[in-house]
Amino acid sequence: MTSTVAAAGAFTDTELDDRFRPAFESIAAGATEREVDRRLAYDEVGRLRELGFGALRVPVEFGGLGATVRQQFRLLIDLAAAESNLPQALRVHFSFVEDQRLAEVSDARDTWLRATAGGVLVGNAITEPGVGAVDRYQTRLTRDGDQWVLNGTKYYSTGSLYSDHILVAADQDGERVSVLVDAHADGVTQHDDWDGFGQRLTASGTTEFNNVVVSPDRILGPGYGDAGKTYATSYLQLVQLAVLAGIAQRATDDAAAWVRDRTRSYTHAAADLPREDPLVQQVIGKLSSAAFTARAAVLAVADVLDEVLVDSSTAQDPELLDRAELAAAQAQLTVIDLVLAATTQLFEVGGASITSESLRLDRHWRNARTISTHNPSIFKSQAVGAYVLNGTELPYAWSAGKR
């Protein structure tokens, strides 16, 4: 029996905005200070839990908000404008929710949907340092007497420090499996040692597993590493693009606010006040356009994913999956260039004072540049070109936590 659970837009956009906007405004107010102090956003994630942000796509009958994909990505862009680290930190959580929505009806499926509706969050520990990759994981799930134990080290454990459970990719007797581990279980050690120059608060550091006991019901099957077409590739990429769209919006807002308050200009400027200078206005106009275009591109892909993620049958339709994969790749190639340019151009509206460390406006470029390195666009542009010219199959990644 397959699932018929599907989101139908239980709340209007206005109702969802009214629910989350105050939290987003509060989160935005502390973003610069958190960046300076490198303070992980535990309190901010806690507020989002309370409001049910992690349950946006959980159907209403399980206690969630029943949002459409488009509604979810509207809110992810707005959250990214407030704090770009948080949508990325929740990326695998949302994919896990989709997997449960699409799973066969079972007590386990229903339990996880209700748990996420209650505020439970899922992080990830997929990628390994060094030689560990999808086809050669060093993390092992092995039999120890009458129980299974997990051992290994993962990096890029994005969001796991904020989470209740961690989705882990491992090798079990030569086969790839995904297991769900309690984040605070004995033998789990997490480190905030992500050393990238951007997206510093995503909790993307190292996670160690030392003889962590895993019950059989937490072994989810092939999961990440299961070859084939999947919605997850385009969906996970779209979260990153939503982050970029949010960064563009915040960069526009910050630059405009700085210009409005500025009273000093150049002797050869066209106006006494920067906000009245047509050249400065031109820069702000370009920033605003970049934010608009990035947002529109993300929502266009979200519309396609709304068709894909109706139920388990549409989520396996190869034609729909190709449409979503192509749309996400095409959007990536435009959005990255737009946002990187915009987060550089914003410095044209002022002199050296706009580079002040107290403003931390450089974080917008650093964050955009960092998020853009996920699934590098040089590979996507080639894949899109080969598909358009020759009908070459699009390269999919693998789904996480698929039962």
Nearest to 31 by CA among 180, 247, 185, 190: 247
> Backbone phi, then psi, for 151, in 5-degree steps?
-135, 135
Rounded to whole angstroms, the Cα distance separating 245 from 346 reads 15
The helix or strand, by DSSP H or E, that contains position 214, with its residue range, turns out to be strand 207-214
Both tokens assigned to 302: 């979200």
**Which residues neighbour 257 within 8 Å (Cβ) at sequence distance 6 or greater?**
none
The 10s digit of each residue's pLDDT in 340-374 is 999 999 999 988 889 988 899 999 999 999 999 98
Helix (H, G, I), strand (E, B) or coil at 63: coil
Mean pLDDT, all residues of the chain:
92
Rounded to whole angstroms, the Cα distance separating 76 from 302 reads 11
Given a cut of 50, whether residue 7 has pLDDT beyond it is no
The 10s digit of each residue's pLDDT in 365-384 is 999 999 999 888 999 999 99
Cα 200-206-207 angle, rounded to 5 deg: 130
- In contact, 328 and 241? CB cutoff 8 Å: yes
Both tokens assigned to 27: 């989160």
The 10s digit of each residue's pLDDT in 217-231 is 999 877 665 668 999
- 2 pLDDT band (50/70/90 cuts)? very low
Given a cut of 70, whether residue 277 has pLDDT beyond it is yes
Rounded to whole angstroms, the Cα distance separating 168 from 170 reads 6
Rounded to whole angstroms, the Cα distance separating 116 from 97 reads 8
**Which residues neighbour 46 within 8 Å (Cβ) at sequence distance 6 or greater?**
none
Taking residues 291-311, what's their average pLDDT? 97
The 10s digit of each residue's pLDDT in 227-255 is 689 999 999 999 999 999 999 999 999 99
Taking residues 300-319, what's their average pLDDT? 96
- The strand ranges marked E within 51-160 are 122-125, 140-144, 147-154
Q: What is the structure's pLDDT at 25?
A: 98
> Backbone phi, then psi, for 233, in 5-degree steps?
-60, -50
The helix or strand, by DSSP H or E, that contains position 235, with its residue range, turns out to be helix 231-261
Nearest to 40 by CA among 96, 86, 102: 86
- The strand ranges marked E within 227-284 are none
The 10s digit of each residue's pLDDT in 183-214 is 999 999 999 999 999 999 999 999 999 999 99
- State the angle between helix axes of 107-117 and 91-102 in degrees (0 to 180), rounded to the nearest 10: 140
User: pTM for the complete prediction?
Assistant: 0.94
The partner residues of 148 in beta bridges, in order of sequence, read 143, 214
Q: What is the structure's pLDDT at 401?
A: 39
